[in-house]
Chains A and B, each alone.
Chain A
Amino acid sequence: MLRPRTLFLGLILCAAQLCFARDLAIVANKSNATSTVTAAELEKILKLSVSSWPDGKKVKIFMTDPGSLESKTILPRVYKITPGEIKALADAHKADIQIVGSDDIVLTMVDNNPGAIGVVNVYSINSQVKVLKIDGKLPMEQGYLLHGN
């Protein structure tokens, strides 16, 4: 037995054999003065249409495989291109967009690079980094752009 919280009942009980995509968090280096971005601004940053932050730091992007089960349905909402096209974009800009093996690596890289921005599963976040609001919303809030299910 693993106990359900009794009042929550069937809705969160035993989602047998279901697969969930998680909210993706956009994280930035803690020295970054930016705390919130619009979806349009984020699209430009992630596509390198904007190459530096307002304080002049160069934008560098870290993420795990955009074609993974967790990312492939959510990331295109901000990129507005397919996971394959996101990969191609990363391949074409290897110095600025790095696809790494785990969320832990993303967090460490963002922590170590003042202009870095990263994409991670919300359950991986820690205080090494700053979580950016998108259109005024944090992950897990209703209406958040990169909301999972």
Chain B
Amino acid sequence: MATERKNTMKLLPNLQRLSQLVIALALCASGSAEKAPPAKLPVTTSSSEAAQYFEAGMVNYENHKWNLAVDSWNRAIKADPKFAQAYVWICFTTGDPAEEARDRAKAKSLINNVSPGEQLLIRWLVGVRENHYVEGIMAMNDMLAMFPHDKRLNFMAGYWLFRWQDEYEISKKFTLRALAEDPNYAPCYNQIGYIYSREGDIDKALEAIAKYISFLPNEPNPHDSYGEMLRFAGRYQDALEQYRLALKIDPTFYISQKELGETYSLMGNEPQARKEYEKAIALAPNSSAKAEYSQKLALTYVREKNYAEADIAYLDAAAKALSLKQWIWEARAHRVMAMYEPNHSSAMRNLAQADALLSAAAGKVAQIDLEEEKAHILRVRVERLLDAGDTSDAESLVAELERMASDGSGVNTERSYHGAAGTLLFAQQNYADAIPQLEEDVANPLSMRLLIMAYRETGDADEAGNLARKLRTWKVPSVEEALAISDSSNSKSIVAIK
């Protein structure tokens, strides 16, 4: 890959000329006459050093070393501050909202300096991030039509569809297309394994990931992925072994360290989970991961229903987030505290604090991230108000959420709205109308739990049974999962069944 991409790199002072040359070289690289599609998306840069860093970043990305990928792309930008493609991949990858917003703006400002294919790449990744989905998806498909044999582009599009859009069918098509180009393209076996797992075929998933390991036995990520599949299958001990193996291969592979914590937490061994999370926090290479893992650690106390310790841990996590300039994580800590807090007034105080922190973060992070957290806060407010019997205020907040969702918000804001609306309707015993709303809030165990009860209330025992089975075997740790699954009699954070 590296060699093929480097063929398109030349040092030229004039970027416009460079773009033309890059395109011409890409056409030549396809090895045939004018009409043959170019083999690969060109990479426009004025610096050969930047090009090398860029390629290193892409390879790191394929191997799921995202922090290293972002580091490499940042080095590329240092060598060539007008490197549009490096900016847009950082925007796609970074967990830092401020970096994301800054680099997205930069990529947009440089769009006219790059080749037509790269322009489509930017329109895709920026478009979907800014909720211009139709424009973004069109650009993605146009780009893939322009470079049908670019295995990396097919893989990346498949990744986006799978990970961010839950669109498995088309993701599978692109991933298989990449494999048809190169049957030894290891990252695709990982991706296809995850797609099988989402389709419910764990045996095929394990088989695909085993193949991924066979291609890259000395890389940590294949073992990490295998561990996750084993965890989905409920084989916790085997999963732990794979994570340890990944860490043995690469002791800095912080993701596997975090997964050890996740697995112990799902096993109910919270003290051990905390030890593992502590190590993961220390290992994490960036601020957002440190902030995230600190809250995972705090969540272990919620699972134990030790709310006093949970408060201490969440306040500590909030302070850490502030020191790391992770303002949304800081607000989130207070929002989560309000989710498990038994006392209504304390919960409302925490929500007010979360709101205030979020307001203070305005202008420092991407608006979409602010809005999503605001939507989460509003949803918790709705739940708490309903818990306290205040239907009228809850209705006003659901209306506010609906307005937010209607204003071209992100998918998560929409889901928060539907979840809140469904929760309100459920509390009003309007089960038939609650069902379609809760169904829109997919993958949220709190909504799933209400949905099971709504199905039962409307006599749909089959749907209730199917969803109850899914919820019982849910292997994705989150605060919603902890609250929904750990104690079905707990009515502190979800609406009591009237």
* Residues of chain A whose beta carbon lies under 8 Å from any beta carbon of chain B: 1-18, 20, 22, 25, 121-127, 131, 138-143, 149
Contact = CB atoms under 8 A, between A and B. Distances in A.
B215 interface: no
Contacts of B142: 126-127
Given A6-B289, A126-B142, 8 more contacts: A1-B256, A1-B259, A2-B191, A3-B64, A3-B255, A11-B443, A16-B476, A149-B440
Given A1-B255, A7-B372, A11-B443, A126 B138 contact: yes
B163 A2 contact: yes
B64 A1 contact: yes
6 contacts: A1-B228, A12-B443, A14-B475, A16-B475, A142-B405, A149-B439
B458 interface: no
Interface residues of B, number: 72
A81 to B, nearest CB: 20
B63 to A, nearest CB: 10
B307 interface: no
Candidate in A10, A126, A138, A139 with the most chain B CB atoms within 10 angstroms: A10
A126 B372 contact: no
Interface in B363-422: 369, 372-373, 405-409, 411-412, 414-417
Given A1-B228, A3-B163, A9-B478, A122 B134 contact: yes
Given A11-B415, A15-B443, A140-B133, A125 B197 contact: no
Interface of B: 64, 66, 95, 97, 131, 133-134, 137-139, 141-142, 145, 159, 161-167, 169-170, 190-191, 194, 197-200, 221, 224-225, 228, 232, 255-256, 259, 288-289, 292, 328-329, 369, 372-373, 405-409, 411-412, 414-417, 439-445, 470, 474-476, 478-481
Scoring A126, A131, A138 by chain B CB atoms within 10 A of each residue's CB, the highest score goes to A126
Max chain B CB contacts within 10 Å: which of A17, A122, A126? A17
Closest A-B pairs by Cβ, 5 of them? A10-B478, A140-B133, A126-B141, A15-B443, A17-B200
A13 B443 contact: yes
A123 B476 contact: no
A27 to B, nearest CB: 10
B406 A10 contact: no
Contacts of A124: 141, 170
Given A1-B64, A7-B97, A22-B167, A123 B138 contact: no
Nearest to A147: B440
Nearest to A23: B133
Given A14-B476, A16-B475, A18-B198, A142 B414 contact: yes
Contacts of A10: 443-445, 476, 478-481
A140 B159 CA distance: 19
Contacts of B225: 1-2
Contacts of A141: 408
Given A11-B444, A14-B476, A3 B408 contact: no
Contacts of A8: 372, 412
A9 B225 CA distance: 19
